[in-house]
Amino acid sequence: MVESGIKVIKGGRLIDGTGAAPVDNGMVLIENTKIKAIGQDIPVPDGAQVIDATSKTVMPGLIDAHMHCNGPRPEDTFHDTISRPRELRLIKAINDTRDCLLSGFTTVKSCGGMNGIYLKRAVSEGSLNKMPRLFSTSYMLTSTIGNPHPYMPEEYVDARKSKHDGHPGGLCVFCDGLDECIKATRYAITRGADFVKIFARGGSCFNQEELQAIVRTSADVDKFVSIHTENSEIAERAIIAGVKTIDHATGVEDRVVEMGNKAGVIFVSTLVCLEAIIKCGPGAGRSVQELEWAKRFLEVSCMTYKMIRREGGTMAIGTDYGGESLIRVLGGSAIELELLVKYCDFTPMEAIVSATKNAAKACFLEEQTGTIEKGKWADLLVIDGNPLEEITILQQKEKIKMVMLEGKVEIER
């Protein structure tokens, strides 16, 4: 298709991502990278490229507010995670991240490790194309007892001391005490981070003063903070400190959701990674212990997300895609929307809002993308079918007839 500065998408069922009712026979006027007008009877400028969306659905591009560019393989054993060179993982991460765009995800938030930074720079330099917009952190900040692989020596996990190439090497920076937390935050930011990520596994975490030091140091250079947590007390501390997104949020209590609502916090779901382990893990050689863990966490996560929805919390979708390799085996990131509907009482429209408007908030890009509104980037999908009637349509790549990123048609089927 020949690209033009002016495009008009017309005739489709328009879902704008705000939660408003869909509009039949909608029109979207695009000028260069941005949306110029939305309506039903917009005059078509001379020379405009007209895209016929009759009988199809036009909606915002999907956004994954929690993924990774780690490049794992489904068959990787624990030994592989330690020994597999990071260069191979980076090459694998290119295909994994490109698959997101092919699946209708126009923006992804990479939540740990330098690969997201490298891929983003490669896209900016023109070395990579057909990639979604990358919003990426660099190294995750973690305390000595809160690292992603408890009891592993620092030289295997801390990026500044790592003596091996594989995962989890190069993912984290250890810091304890105010001075170390401030220095580690600055270090992560200087590596190119768009935001700062805290990793707090289980019940272990930084104390209140350390969390506040991280948030304050980030704010000094207009950076926001996200936190991985599976514990309500840690989530409460994080909200008090000024953290903006609570990722995974498993086990968060209703009073913490109320605090989050007042503070404008976004809670990020991650169900599909657990579903993938449960359904695909046995065939991939995952241990009985990991399968049981995934089942327990899925149950608690579903209960938590039901409660967050009931209490009016802001939910965005994440997936852990690229962190959990089996998601692609199961069928991809869009399964997260189905699981919110299937397990957590979300309507299809609520799931779509979580994957568009709310996910844009979780990427701190709500002024630029996430909804079809005048002045925002033209990040759009044309879908063959109605996801409000069948949310699983969004999992079928062949049904995603067009993917547009900032006004450019990246995928056309």
Domain 62-362 sits in CATH 3.30.450.40: no
Mean pLDDT of the chain: 93
Supply the pLDDT for residue 155.
Answer: 74
**Number of separate helices (H) and strands (E) present in the chain:** 14, 18
pLDDT digits (tens, 9 = 90+) for 327-379: 999 999 999 999 999 999 999 999 999 999 999 999 999 999 999 999 999 99
Query: So where are the chain's domains?
Result: 6-60+371-412, 62-362
Q: Is 132 helix (H, G, I), strand (E, B) or coil?
A: coil
In angstroms, the CA 241 to CA 189 distance is 19
Radius of gyration of the chain (CA): 21
Predicted TM-score (pTM) of the model is 0.96
pLDDT digits (tens, 9 = 90+) for 201-215: 765 679 999 999 999
Low-confidence ranges of the chain (pLDDT < 50): 1-2
In angstroms, the CA 103 to CA 98 distance is 9
pLDDT digits (tens, 9 = 90+) for 251-262: 999 999 999 999
Domain 6-60+371-412 sits in CATH 2.40.30.200: no
Supply the pLDDT for residue 148.
Answer: 59
pLDDT digits (tens, 9 = 90+) for 144-183: 876 655 556 777 778 887 766 556 666 888 899 999 999 9
- Cβ atoms of 21 and 13 within 8 Å: the answer is no
Residue at token pair 């939910």:
315
- Cβ atoms of 148 and 199 within 8 Å: the answer is yes
pLDDT digits (tens, 9 = 90+) for 163-172: 665 566 668 8
